[in-house]
A and B are shown apart, each in its own frame.
Chain A
Amino acid sequence: MKVTEKDVLYVADLANLELTPEERTRMLRDLNSILEYVDRLNELDTDGVPPMAQVSDRYGVTEKKGTAKFEYAMRADELGECLDRKLALANAPDSDGAFFKVPKVIER
């Protein structure tokens, strides 16, 4: 699967990265080189093999099934400690003391 310049622009758009023209050229080369290497996964027959998203899906609780397996990770839906507003805004690039301020949203 060869990546084209159009693909690079499309993916950069999805990833919200504004690449410079030099970056785009370099990216085209690098992505193609990596994807060519990664293509060897197709040597393997994975029909009927379940995908593995998360290691801890297999931990300890083998007797339980489905959501019961993750009971230990649940807590009661109760309000706990919240981050103090001043602390939450302390790193804000721009703020009015109550909200984070950002440039206007333009309808595309």
Chain B
Amino acid sequence: MDLNSLTVASTVNAIRERQMTATALAEDFYRRIEAKDGEIHAFLTLSKERALAAATKVDALAAKGDPLPPLAGLPMAIKDVMVTRGLRTTAGSKILENYIPPYDCTAVARLEAAGVVMLGKTNCDEFAMGSSTENSAYGPVRNPRDKSRVPGGSSGGSAAAVAAGFAVASLGSDTGGSIRQPASFCGVVGLMPTYGRVSRYGLIAFASSLDHIGPFTRTVKDAALLLGIIAGRDPLDSTSADVPVPDYAAEIEKPVRGMKIGVPKEYFTEGMDAEVRTAVEDAIQLLAAKAGCEVVPISLPHTPYAIPSYYLVATAEASSNLARYDGVRYGHRSPKSSTLSEMYRRSRDEGFGPEVKRRIMLGTYALSAGYYDAYYLKAQKVRTLLTRDFEEAFAEVDAIITPTSPTPAFKIGEKVDDPLSMYLADIFTVTADLVGVPGMSIPCGNSREGLPIGMQIMAQHFDESTLFRLGHAYEQARAA
């Protein structure tokens, strides 16, 4: 049983056909995790009891010949920013080191109701703040494709888990690129759905207008299958959209002949890695030559202003969202405090890591009296300008293709001392978060050193179908 070649569809079919049991499969994955995750550190917590209980349930249904839920027996890993009832959830932070949530994240609950076997919680940058998973309070994750390098971030553990064959698929979260960039660095598919497509209930909040939940998978079709299960209105999240969920997997084979692909010049800048440029340009040409797409040069002129806008909006929202970590009801409380004020200040200073503190400070500053207009309000106006760029582009094209990241995976330790250099790693991914459009990273080649390169496809709000159709067409064209 080659754990590395399983897809969502092949796993679910094999269990339904009783070629293997969910229990045996889960045990196979745990053996592999125990043997090899010491070198990768993708997982923070394993949930064996819960996983084997779910697997047993599936196997009992299968033995009786009863109909199985759509993802019955599928082993998945979940980023540790999504709460799981009764199972430790840390958000990659010491401030929640022993936090046991009393409820489940909706996306996780929907997957488990569909029969998913949750293997464990994956490592991530603290509170999803980072682009390399080096900000985890529990130690970094190593890229399975090159262990001297980062897997990307903040969902590094979830991306690595799929790349290393520790799960068939996983869930991550994306606020500035945290699904797409690690997918690109690890050579897997990573989908960030439209903002509001998937409920954020139970996702530990970083920036409420920018956070998204989405899957890491080996194939585009797998991402379509998973989105179909987690997407849809949730009364527990007022920002979850009241938009019907199409049958994404059924539509995936629709031909893409004649689809217009926009290629924005601002994403193919001087000084970007030449191999990344070539790999993505080749991928676009393949879609034109083999799948009959039309390539249209476009411009997204406000792109250079996306990062500064993002680092004001996201940090401002984070400073508000992280105010709840005060040592009162849960999480770390400083033993060195005798007044309420000391308790707040010391618990937070002791529990938060340096990057989290940096962003809280920046966000608080941007919102403070006298600076709100110059910083936060200005950034929100730029957000409107970025949205207009996309609206104008989508009047001409059906999808936009860019590199996911300006470089392949960098070395562990390379950027830790320069926060600004780390922030610039998100340069191609942040715009989609600010504007709310869906984006997917698909592997499109390797560098000479064997490092994965990803291309990013973006589409209009709620048009994930276009992402899946184009991505699937690319996979087919490449395999042909």
Residues in chain A within 8 A of chain B (CB atoms): 1, 3, 7-8, 10-12, 14-20, 23, 26-27, 30-31, 33-35, 37-44, 46, 49-56, 58-60, 70, 72-73, 75, 83-84, 87-88, 90-94, 100, 102-106, 108
- Asked whether any CB of chain A lies closer than 8 Å to the CB of B387, the reply is yes
Contact of A16 among B99, B238, B344, B354 (CB under 8 A): B344
Q: Which residue of A lies closest to B386 (CB)?
A: A52
Set of chain B residues within 8 Å of A91, measured between Cβ atoms = 98-100, 329-331
- How many cross-chain pairs have Cβ atoms below 8 Å apart between A and B? 178
* Contacting residues, chain B, for A103 (C-beta < 8 A): 337-340, 342-343
- Give the A-binding residues of B (Cβ under 8 A): 98-100, 102-103, 195-196, 209, 233, 235, 238-239, 241-243, 302, 304-305, 307-309, 311-312, 319, 323, 326-333, 337-346, 348-349, 352, 354, 357-358, 360-362, 364-365, 368, 371, 374-375, 377-385, 387, 419-420, 423, 435-436, 461
Contact A87 B238 (CB under 8 A): no
Given A1-B374, A49-B384, A53-B380, answer yes or no on A16-B323 (Cβ-Cβ < 8 Å).
yes
Residues of B within 8 A of A55 (CB): 195-196, 209, 435-436, 461
Task: State the CA gap A29–B440 with chains docked (Å).
Answer: 36
A31's partner among B241, B323, B365, B436 (CB-CB below 8 A) is B365
**Cβ A56 vs Cβ B436 within 8 A:** yes
Shortest CB-to-CB span from B375 to chain A, Å, is 7
- Counting chain B CB atoms within 10 Å of each CB, the highest count among A35, A43, A50, A52 belongs to A52
**CA A11 – CA B239 in complex, angstroms?**
30
Tell me the minimal C-beta distance from B292 to chain A in angstroms. 31
> Which residue of B333, B362, B365, B383 is within 8 Å of A51 (Cβ)?
B383
Q: Which residue from A15, A34, A59, A102 sits with its C-beta under 8 Å from B420?
A: A34
Chain A residues contacting B337 (CB-CB under 8 Å) are 103
Contact A92 B329 (CB under 8 A): yes
A44 touches B243 (CB 8 A): no
Partner of A37, one of B308, B375, B436: B308
Q: Which residues of A contact B384 (CB under 8 A)?
A: 49-52
Within the complex, the shortest CB–CB distance from B380 to chain A, in Å, comes to 4
User: A16 to B345, Cβ gap below 8 A?
Assistant: yes
| CB<8 Å pairs between A and B, sample of 23 | A11-B364, A16-B326, A16-B348, A17-B345, A18-B345, A18-B349, A23-B357, A35-B365, A43-B305, A44-B385, A46-B378, A49-B384, A54-B239, A56-B241, A59-B241, A59-B461, A60-B242, A75-B235, A88-B102, A90-B100, A93-B331, A100-B328, A105-B339
